[in-house]
Amino acid sequence: MSAQAASPDVPGRMVIGLLMAGVLTQISYPLLSGAALQVVTVASVLLLTAAGVLHAALRWSPGHAVLLVLVAGGIGLAAETVGVHTGYPFGEYLYTDRLGPRIAGVPALVPIAWTMIAYPALLLGRRLAARPGARSGRLLTTARTALVGGIALGSWDLYLDPQMTAQNAWRFAHPHPGLPGVPGIPLTNFAGWFLVAVVMIAALDLTLPARPARRENWEWPAASVLAWTWLGSAVANLFFFGRPWVALYGGVVMGLTVLPYLLRLIPARTGQAEEPAHDTTHDTTQDGTRHTTARIGGEQ
């Protein structure tokens, strides 16, 4: 394994520290209630989002990390603002005061939370959407990435909404029809989440370059956020929160993308992967010259 992959430097250690702190705060959820639970909920989102943004800055550039926040957070805020004031696309709902200060009726924490999972979902979508040896256009590649990454991001809501409605962070005016065993949340909410997730991942894919400038084999910190969210939320809902149906829905649907992603990422992480598969995209420059961009499927 290369020194770059291990990343013993101070910024890399900061990413790992933020990740560990975010996970530890979430582990405390079942032990807390009231104001203490509200504080650690906010803290965990800020810590894990900061880890992802710093990770993006180290792999691409600080400017690209800013774009990540602006695009993911901006789309998340726009969708939630429309949702709160019109009921579309999630269904009619309102936020309480439990998540802190609001912007246009939406807690400032909410677009940050969208960013927290959108970034690793983008990396997941890119890796799983790559086709060995394929030669495809940029828009087709982005469409595949958005669909797969959108499923990963959208499926997170199978965990998130039951948790947040239980904490009275928001309420739906018309919670029926909903998923069996998951009261208080309409099916329209999950459909709206998937729609927004696909748009968000597509926008991010068009914003961040296909290949990072540095640390190509250092994707695992972002992937670990998805792995922890998938497995940790399933365990918490099953054994601590008394929501077995939530554990089942979230575990199965989120696992459809996260598990294949982790299995594909392991060889690249350990250096055992064969020559990476390239999904080749052809573009045309302003002077009419065609150039080729290789999207990495086996290593990124």
The residue extents of the domains of the chain are 3-270
Would you state the pLDDT for residue 274? Answer: 36
Nearest to 116 by CA among 200, 34, 59, 37: 200
Would you state the pLDDT for residue 297? Answer: 41
Would you state the pLDDT for residue 134? Answer: 67
Would you state the pLDDT for residue 206? Answer: 97
- Residue 222 and residue 68 in contact, taking contact as beta carbons nearer than 8 Å: no
Nearest to 201 by CA among 283, 144, 137, 280: 144
C-alpha span between 174 and 186 (Å, rounded): 7
- The structure tokens listed for 268 are 């690249």
C-alpha span between 119 and 225 (Å, rounded): 10
- Residue 247 and residue 238 in contact, taking contact as beta carbons nearer than 8 Å: yes
Would you state the pLDDT for residue 266? Answer: 87
| End-to-end CA gap in the chain | 15
C-alpha span between 41 and 98 (Å, rounded): 10
Q: What is the mean pLDDT of residues 16-33?
A: 96
- Residue 140 and residue 176 in contact, taking contact as beta carbons nearer than 8 Å: no
Would you state the pLDDT for residue 8? Answer: 52
Q: What is the mean pLDDT of the chain?
A: 89
- Strands 135-137 and 278-284 come out as parallel
- Over 70: is that where the pLDDT of 280 sits? no
Helix ranges (H only) for 70-219 are 74-86, 109-129, 138-155, 157-166, 187-207
The neighbouring-strand residues paired with 290 are: 284
Would you state the pLDDT for residue 273? Answer: 42
Residue percentage of the chain with pLDDT more than 90:
82
Burial profile 235-255: b = 16 or more Cβ within 10 angstroms, e = fewer? ebbbeebebebbbbbbbebbe
Q: What is the mean pLDDT of residues 227-254?
A: 98
Would you state the pLDDT for residue 271? Answer: 55
Sheet holding 290-296, edge to edge: 135-137, 278-284, 290-296
- Over 70: is that where the pLDDT of 276 sits? no
- Residue 75 and residue 146 in contact, taking contact as beta carbons nearer than 8 Å: no
Q: What is the mean pLDDT of residues 116-129?
A: 97
Burial profile 76-96: b = 16 or more Cβ within 10 angstroms, e = fewer? bbebbbbbbeebebbbbbebe
4 band by pLDDT with thresholds 50, 70 and 90: very low
- Over 80: is that where the pLDDT of 287 sits? no
Would you state the pLDDT for residue 288? Answer: 39
For 34, phi then psi, to 5°, come to 60, -140
C-alpha span between 85 and 71 (Å, rounded): 21
- Over 90: is that where the pLDDT of 42 sits? yes
Residue percentage of the chain with pLDDT more than 70:
85
**Local structure of 186: helix, strand or coil:** strand
Q: Which of 168-182, 261-275, 284-298 has the highest mean pLDDT?
A: 168-182
Task: Tell me the pLDDT tens digit for each residue of 241-266.
Answer: 999 999 999 999 999 999 999 999 98
Strand locations in the chain (E): 93-95, 102-103, 106-107, 135-137, 170-172, 278-284, 290-296
C-alpha span between 188 and 81 (Å, rounded): 16
Q: What is the mean pLDDT of residues 130-155?
A: 89
My answer on whether omega of the bond before 212 falls inside 30° of 0, hence cis, is no
Q: Which residue has the higher pLDDT, 136 or 51?
A: 51
